[in-house]
Amino acid sequence: MKVLVAVKRVVDYNVKVRVKADNSGVDLANVKMSMNPFCEIAVEEAVRLKEKGVATEIVVVSIGPATAQEQLRTALALGADRAILVESADELNSLAVAKLLKAVVDKEQPQLVILGKQAIDSDNNQTGQMLAALSGYAQGTFASKVEVSGDKVAVTREIDGGLQTVSLSLPAIVTTDLRLNEPRYASLPNIMKAKKKPLEVLTPDALGVSTASTNKTLKVEAPAARSAGIKVKSVAELVEKLKNEAKVI
Amino acid sequence: MTILVIAEHDNKVLAPATLNTVAAAAKIGGDIHVLVAGQGAGAVADAAAKIAGVSKVLSADNAAYAHQLPENVAPLVAELGKGYSHILAAATSNGKNILPRVAAQLDVDQISEIISVESADTFKRPIYAGNAIATVQSNAAVKVITVRATGFDPVAAEGGSAAVEAVAAAHDAGKSSFAGEELAKSDRPELTAAKIVISGGRGMQNGDNFKHLYALADKLGAAVGASRAAVDAGFVPNDMQVGQTGKIVAPQLYIAVGISGAIQHLAGMKDSKVIVAINKDEEAPIFQVADYGLVADLFEAVPELEKLV
């Protein structure tokens, strides 16, 4: 079974971003970039499926700038077999990304597509569901467990009140939640080997996909700052403040 | 302009988040219709009809919609939604699951987790874990939007008297089926609706120690949450997670216990009215957003707090 994994290059999760002075966006100059954490979990799940003998080939794909090749090499070092970059310097919205991924799905015909549930930059949580809609496939979002058997996959999902398990016909789309697995680190020999694995570069034009969006970002601002309050010396003082000053208990 | 709001429910009870979503719809302006897609959800449709400001309830009652499977519900919403100016759903796990699928079927980009309505086509939403707020304008014929409940005060659950209209459309894609669920059973209020939330972090050391928080929560009528660190460490289940990738809460009082205050956690709770931090590390970043900070050993402070409140 072929597994397609989509990954996104984003600001490293440890970076506290700053809004640009002209409110056009956030300042990404000289900021550490990494693979989106949920995408790392997606790569790890695919690698585990291959180790279990369920997956036979892992293709990793990213939609983004030329520098996203770094994240694709990371995925190759973690165990993906080959990579595809759909190169676009523009910041694309989720629907455009989903359409590009659909074009890659049409080309590659994977049985399972694994994506992160959301990217930690745009915080949209849309692409997997949109790809599922465009492909006409079933979706198992926010997965904490994925079990393939025959032509079905059982996906246990993190939902608001607990867990839900759905059974999906393959091919299907899975988006990962935090507890699905704990991603491994790439070993040095694997990083070296990854440099020799194939990496194909495509463009939206070559895939015949329009990346126009119905959304336009007018401005980006810093959130209202919350200032630090006071330190209380004892539990008794805390209770007194909560009762008489804040009046919340 | 007519707005379609997707009701959040479990076939028995209308979830409170629906009231916040209707509030966002009211800010946009225009007629508000509510879609109840489910099975045997008549009581939910009746409750939706009573929501202040709702002029019509569409009831799609069919076995295919019983478990909110997106493969079946999204085509229904997309079909009905074509005639509306906006489609709104709460940014719950269910709304997040279904609505992007609807947006793609309508060939429009979705606007996720709005926290304010600037005009009928312009909205604010947090990005980068709430470290930036984007103002986004949509030129889509049908604007597809999820609503962050904490951004909108709920409308009254009573006062309306909308007509309930049955929708016959049955969509069963036949690609997915419900296999089971394990829902946490708790007498405490739901995290996102609670007036007081007490959360524990890595400082709790293990899951058993959360009993101190449960005891305090029961005395205050509070819900109990956790940081991602506590969930990752296996202390408590993921549905308790407060943060960028967990639940977003904005209670009257938020008590962070043994939580250092990573930006991902702050993203989920910094709109709380009053924040209390209890941590033995006085350098912990959580103190930078706390109204009241107590530098103390939580295993002494929490039981004492329970006695004094």
Q: What is the pLDDT of residues B35-67, one digit of tens each?
A: 999 999 999 999 999 999 999 999 999 999 999
pLDDT at residue B186, rounded to an integer: 81
Of A133, A215, A221, the CB nearest to B109: A215
Q: What is the pLDDT of residues B230-279, one digit of tens each?
A: 999 999 999 999 999 899 999 999 999 999 999 999 999 999 999 999 99
- Is the confidence at residue A16, as pLDDT, over 90? no
Say whether B305 and A239 touch across the interface (CB within 8 A).
yes
Residue B31: other Cβ atoms inside 10 A: 15
Alpha helices in B16-121 (DSSP H): 17-28, 42-49, 70-81, 93-105
- The predicted model gives B303-307 an average pLDDT of 97
Q: Report d(CA B43, CA B138) in Å as an integer.
A: 35
pLDDT at residue A192, rounded to an integer: 97
What is the number of CB-based contacts under 8 A between chain A and chain B? 258
Look up residue A244 and give its DSSP letter: I
Residues in chain A closer than 8 A to B98 (CB atoms):
129
How far A45 CA sits from the closest chain B CA (Å)?
Answer: 17
Q: What is the pLDDT of residues A163-200, one digit of tens each?
A: 999 999 999 999 999 889 999 999 999 999 999 999 99
Look up residue B151 and give its DSSP letter: G
CA nearest to A164 within chain B: B181
- Is the confidence at residue B185, as pLDDT, over 90? no
- B26 Cβ contact partners less than 8 Å away, ≥ 6 residues apart: B32, B53, B155
- The predicted model gives A6-24 an average pLDDT of 95
* CA dist list (Å): B99 to B14, B73, B85, B150, B229: 18, 9, 15, 19, 29
B86-90 and A152-159 beta bridge pairing: unpaired
pLDDT at residue B245, rounded to an integer: 87
Of A26, A228, A241, the CB nearest to B128: A26
- The predicted model gives B7-26 an average pLDDT of 97
Q: Report d(CA B49, CA B157) in Å as an integer.
A: 9
Q: Report d(CA B23, CA B53) in Å as an integer.
A: 9
Residue with tokens 């005060």: B153
- Is the confidence at residue B164, as pLDDT, over 90? yes
Task: pLDDT band for A161, please (50, 70, 90 cuts).
Answer: confident
Best residue of A166, A176, A182 to probe chain B, by most B CBs closer than 10 Å: A166
Task: pLDDT band for B200, please (50, 70, 90 cuts).
Answer: very high
pLDDT at residue B144, rounded to an integer: 98
Output the six-digit token pair for B19: 């009231």
- Is the confidence at residue A40, as pLDDT, over 90? yes
Task: pLDDT band for B193, please (50, 70, 90 cuts).
Answer: confident
Portion 211-240 of A in contact with B at CB < 8 A: 213-223, 226, 228-232, 234-236, 238-239
User: Lowest-confidence range among B104-113, B130-139, B182-191, B200-209?
Assistant: B182-191
pLDDT at residue B254, rounded to an integer: 98
Interface contact A161, partner B, CB < 8 A = yes
Say whether A241 and B292 touch across the interface (CB within 8 A).
yes
- Is the confidence at residue A247, as pLDDT, over 90? yes
Q: Which amino acid is residue B298, in one-letter code?
A: L
How large is the ipTM? Answer: 0.94
pLDDT at residue A55, rounded to an integer: 98
- Is the confidence at residue B110, as pLDDT, over 90? yes
Which helix (H) or strand (E) segment holds residue A216: the answer is strand A215-221
How far B148 CA sits from the closest chain A CA (Å)?
Answer: 12
CA nearest to B136 within chain A: A217
Q: Report d(CA B178, CA B173) in Å as an integer.
A: 13
CA nearest to B72 within chain A: A138
Output the six-digit token pair for A9: 């290059």
Say whether A126 and B112 touch across the interface (CB within 8 A).
yes
pLDDT at residue B266, rounded to an integer: 94
Task: pLDDT band for A73, please (50, 70, 90 cuts).
Answer: very high
Question: How many Å separate Cα A133 from the centre of its chain?
Answer: 18
How far A33 CA sits from the closest chain B CA (Å)?
Answer: 13
| Residue B21 near residue B90 (C-beta atoms within 8 A) | yes
Interface contact A249, partner B, CB < 8 A = yes
Q: What is the pLDDT of residues B283-301, one digit of tens each?
A: 999 999 999 999 999 999 9
Residues in chain A closer than 8 A to B293 (CB atoms):
228-232
Residues in chain B closer than 8 A to A158 (CB atoms):
93, 238-239
β-sheet bridge partners, residue B9 = B14
Portion 62-101 of A in contact with B at CB < 8 A: 93-95, 98
pLDDT at residue A227, rounded to an integer: 82
- Cα-flanking dihedrals φ and ψ of residue A134, to 5°? -65, -35
Task: pLDDT band for A60, please (50, 70, 90 cuts).
Answer: very high
- Is the confidence at residue A64, as pLDDT, over 90? yes
Of B100, B128, B182, the CB nearest to A130: B100
